[in-house]
């Protein structure tokens, strides 16, 4: 049975842990607000970019062609896995790695390569048989336009050089503060925009230069926007899950402190009662 000193030491330890988890919860909440604002900025831009591409496709007089549209026999696939650099965010990374493992199941390791964004994904796969074509770490949960552009250039370069035939991204989509969705999306080749006949009838833009030339210029920007959206969603989800995890840890620490305090008081009361009984017994013995 633990002594009073042991219980008191454990209470102090749990109090210190609660202070740390509470601080981490507050920091994650502040980061989440900024990341959520970034998601709200990126998504409308991405949606508008898609609308512009559809408008250009509707106004185009010929067949749209671009290297990003090229669909060829899939001899090599690239999986881009977006995880976090730090832990303490509940099941965020475990769910992503589980989804990646499901995607990799049954595939030939010679026909698949990994591009890992985030330290946790790299730590998991660096000791496994799957080849790693590239890694991008040390984000600290912050969206960096320059580094996102480097990732896009790396991926599109491999696709254009035919070092890979298909690129798939697995990330966590941010829905709300308490809702997230594991998402698997094909990054390259890009699906050609769907032309709506009704939309085609009401578009009366005059394009200069031609829609085909504008489309060629916009498609690389679309690829960058798609990557930025995935990263923004992933970072916001990371901060949200860490905030929830640290909130739960803080609550559990409080409950543990209450339990230990009750245990300490009972043990202290038992010790006092024992001392009183010893004093009374000693006094009775002296009288007799």
List, by residue number, the catalytic residues. Answer: 89
**Within the chain, what is the greatest distance between any pair of CA atoms?**
118
CA atoms of 256 and 12, how far apart (whole Å) = 11
Strand order in the sheet with 179-188: 132-136, 112-117, 77-82, 166-176, 179-188
CA 64 vs. chain centroid, Å, equals 35
| Neighbouring-strand partners of residue 67 | none
CA atoms of 76 and 162, how far apart (whole Å) = 9
Q: Encoding tokens for residue 205?
A: 């833009």
Helices (H) and strands (E) in the chain, counts: 6, 5
**DSSP letter, residue 109:** G
Q: Encoding tokens for residue 5?
A: 């000193």
Count the helix, strand and coil residues of the chain and give each as a percent rounded to the nearest 5.
65, 15, 25
Q: What angle do CA 41, 44, 46 make, to 5 degrees?
A: 105
């Amino acid at each position: 049975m633990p002594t009073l000193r042991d219980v008191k030491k454990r209470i102090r330890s749990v109090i210190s842990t609660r202070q740390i988890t509470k601080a981490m919860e507050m920091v994650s909440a502040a980061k989440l607000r900024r990341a959520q604002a970034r998601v709200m900025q990126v998504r409308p831009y991405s949606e508008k970019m898609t609308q512009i591409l559809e408008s250009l496709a509707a106004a185009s007089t010929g067949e749209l062609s671009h290297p990003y549209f090229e669909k060829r026999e899939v001899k090599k696939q690239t999986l881009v896995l977006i995880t976090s650099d730090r832990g303490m965010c509940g099941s965020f990374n475990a769910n992503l790695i589980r989804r990646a493992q499901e995607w990799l199941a049954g595939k030939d390791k010679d026909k698949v390569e990994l591009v890992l964004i985030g330290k946790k994904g790299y730590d998991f796969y660096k000791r496994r048989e799957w080849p790693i074509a590239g890694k991008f770490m040390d984000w600290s949960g912050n969206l960096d336009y320059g580094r996102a552009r480097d990732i896009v250039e790396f991926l599109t370069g491999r696709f254009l050089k035919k070092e890979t035939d298909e690129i798939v991204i697995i990330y966590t989509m941010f829905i709300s503060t308490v809702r997230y969705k594991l998402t698997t999306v094909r990054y390259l080749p890009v699906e050609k925009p769907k032309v709506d006949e009704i939309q085609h009838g009401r578009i009366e833009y005059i394009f200069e230069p031609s829609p085909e030339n504008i489309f060629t210029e916009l498609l690389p920007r679309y690829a960058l926007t798609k990557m930025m959206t995935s990263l923004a969603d992933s970072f916001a989800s990371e901060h949200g899950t860490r905030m929830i995890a640290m909130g739960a840890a803080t609550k559990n620490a409080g409950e543990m402190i209450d339990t230990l305090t009750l245990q300490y008081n009972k043990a202290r009361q038992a010790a006092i009662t024992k001392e009183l009984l010893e004093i009374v017994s000693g006094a009775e013995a002296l009288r007799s």
